[in-house]
Structure 1
Amino acid sequence: MLFLTATLNQSEDILNLIRNSGTPIRGRTVASHEEFSQTVRESRWDAVVVDPGLDNIEYRTLLKQLSHLQLDIPLILIPAKVTAKLQDTALNEGAAAVIAADHGPSLMHTLINEVRHLRDRHQIRKLQILLSEAEKRSETLLQHSEEPFAYIQEGIHVYANPAYLKLFGAKDADELDGMPVLDMVAAESQTVLKELLKTTDTVQSPEIRFVSVSGDDSFAFALINMVLALSGSPQGCGEIAAKATLVRDLFTLLQVGTERLQRAV
């Protein structure tokens, strides 16, 4: 934790409050904007605690320095007295909190919570990177797979790999983009597929008769590893949780078992 306070004793008092709560923490005090800029470049800090009453320190400049360096570090002001004007202005300009310096318990809980929130944000960013990498790997695998795959959203094609396009006689993805999957199913099999699309379980379907994009060819086969989307949307969850759920729930994955393909005579 990085401090810009009037005395070292003030910084130590705050650190001791946090340590006494069972939270291990280290701290350092800096005395100028230049030293602050150098210090945040050299080490990783969980929070910045600033006394806005210091003559040589301007908290707005500190916020600008953090923004310029693209550093996500919460800045907490600890004035001798909190006024509504200072609180509103500081929060609007990007400060994480404004707590009176003599409100020890409130300051301790605020700092602990801000550190926890910062670490949560770091974890979210890591998950976002992992999610992006997983999506890229999945797309590469699908594109190069010899097995036909398609993503179906609410009964509409939103993605089909080259093998799937070839199977149904489509020249390119644009031919299937936005096409209802039922348009490619023979009339006698549509009821069966509709029932399958209502389930939320992983199922193996009975034989379904499909038709090619042109309508000139028809064939029957069972769908294997048919992973169906859950209905509804995620409620009451954070941004990364919502995004992760969308990746899992938004699509229906149809993997066509070509080895079981039976062309109609």
Structure 2
Amino acid sequence: MAARMEDISGKLAAEHQAIELLVIAPSLSMVNELASMLRNAGIAVHPRQIQDLEQLTDTLSANCCDLILAVGDPDHSDIHATIGALRQSDSDAILIYLSELDDRANPVVEIIGQGVADIVNPDNKLHLQHVVRREYHNLMIRRQLEEARNELAATELRCTTLMECSHDAIAYVHDGMHIRANPVYLQLFGYIDEEELADVPLLDLIEPDELPKVKKFMRRLPSLADETPLDTQCRNTNGKSFQARMEFSPAHMDGEPCTQITIRDQGNT
């Protein structure tokens, strides 16, 4: 664990990323002391003191912070207000509570259950440094994952738009079953809409005599290059057969892996 945390710290230093740090504390000297302690451990921070709930709410609305260090008060009333403000905001900042609470005390379980990432005794500098590194690392992973999800959603939207406007017959298949198809594909095989095609196996659109060849080809798909073509005989809902060229390529639909199939009626080329 120690080696992993040192590796994380090294990555943060190498990337020259400074943690945008909010410190809820009664005095600026306390803020500077905490910032100095973290910097001495090789953790770059941009600290900012927060003195009241209104200032915290405004700062969270600007969405310009990574971690929040909240210095505990005797009756722990301020931490509940801080938790409430964080919950009501769109911020993904991580809240760490600095308090001398006994780990066995009921307030610890209650506060962590409400959304505090961890409770640290402010006198335990090594523990606080460890928690700051860990929570910032976890925050970066979550943000990168969210960014990847957004990029994937945007890519899928572009693919869907292109598919709908394409002059080629295009469908998406998962485990051999249709999950999406564009209007040209539906028309080619004689289906009214996607609902009618849903759960129809791809092999149902292949002439029976061609099935062994198509099955063998599909078993080899993972080892083949993208858009590998297959010439075969397909048939529509009326039983009419036509010569087709099928091209297969890996794709994603709704975040799940699937296969994109493009079919061209060779009789119309």
TM-score range relative to shorter protein? 0.7 to 0.9
Deviation per CA, 1:68-124: give whole Å up to 9, x if none: 122221111111343322321111011010011111011012112212222332222
SS at match of 2:45: coil
> 2:186, 2:194 within 8 Å by CA — same for their partners in 1?
yes
Find the counterpart in structure 1 of residue 93 from structure 2. Answer: 73
- Measured after TM superposition, the shift of residue 162 of structure 1 is 1.0
Amino acid of the residue matched to residue 49 of structure 1? L
Change over 3 Å in CA distance of 1:173–1:4 after alignment to 2:
closer
Give the distance between the partners of 1:131 and 1:74, measured in 2 at CA.
26
- Is 1:126 aligned to 2:131, yes or no? no
Q: State the superposition RMSD in angstroms.
A: 2.4
What runs of 5+ residues in structure 1 fail to find an aligned partner?
230-243
Find the counterpart in structure 2 of residue 252 from structure 1. Answer: 259
20, 27, 30: which one pairs with 2:50? 30
Change over 3 Å in CA distance of 1:30–1:55 after alignment to 2:
farther
Structure 1 residues 54-63 or 137-146, which shifts more?
A: 54-63
- Measured after TM superposition, the shift of residue 42 of structure 1 is 4.5
SS at match of 2:133: helix
Amino acid of the residue matched to residue 36 of structure 1? L
SS at match of 2:245: strand
Change over 3 Å in CA distance of 1:39–1:168 after alignment to 2:
closer
- Is 1:146 aligned to 2:167, yes or no? yes
Give the distance between the partners of 2:257 and 2:63, measured in 1 at CA.
41
176, 201, 205: which one pairs with 1:155? 176
- Measured after TM superposition, the shift of residue 46 of structure 1 is 1.2
Find the counterpart in structure 2 of residue 116 from structure 1. Answer: 137
Amino acid of the residue matched to residue 223 of structure 1? M
Give the distance between the partners of 1:58 and 1:222, measured in 2 at CA.
68
- Is 1:170 aligned to 2:186, yes or no? no
- Measured after TM superposition, the shift of residue 32 of structure 1 is 2.2
- Measured after TM superposition, the shift of residue 182 of structure 1 is 1.3
- In the comparison of the two structures, how many residue pairs are matched? 244
SS at match of 1:255: strand
Give the distance between the partners of 1:129 and 1:71, measured in 2 at CA.
17
Deviation per CA, 1:4-55: give whole Å up to 9, x if none: 2354333222211221232321112222223322333346111111122256
Amino acid of the residue matched to residue 267 of structure 2? Q
Change over 3 Å in CA distance of 1:37–1:57 after alignment to 2:
farther
Amino acid of the residue matched to residue 32 of structure 2? E
Find the counterpart in structure 1 of residue 206 from structure 2. Answer: 185
Find the counterpart in structure 1 of residue 242 from structure 2. Answer: 219
SS at match of 1:83: coil
Deviation per CA, 1:233-252: give whole Å up to 9, x if none: xxxxxxxxxxx7974x6212
Give the distance between the partners of 1:157 and 1:19, measured in 2 at CA.
56
Give the distance between the partners of 1:32 and 1:66, measured in 2 at CA.
13
Give the distance between the partners of 2:76 and 2:57, measured in 1 at CA.
14
Q: How many percent identity over aligned positions?
A: 22
Structure 1 residues 95-104 or 192-201, which shifts more?
A: 192-201
Give the distance between the partners of 1:180 and 1:43, measured in 2 at CA.
48
TM-score normalized with structure 1 length: 0.83
- Give the structure with the larger strand fraction: 2
What runs of 5+ residues in structure 2 fail to find an aligned partner?
1-20
Give the distance between the partners of 1:70 and 1:41, measured in 2 at CA.
7
> 2:156, 2:253 within 8 Å by CA — same for their partners in 1?
no
Change over 3 Å in CA distance of 1:155–1:40 after alignment to 2:
closer
> 2:246, 2:263 within 8 Å by CA — same for their partners in 1?
yes
SS at match of 1:58: helix
Give the distance between the partners of 1:107 and 1:78, measured in 2 at CA.
9
Amino acid of the residue matched to residue 262 of structure 1? G
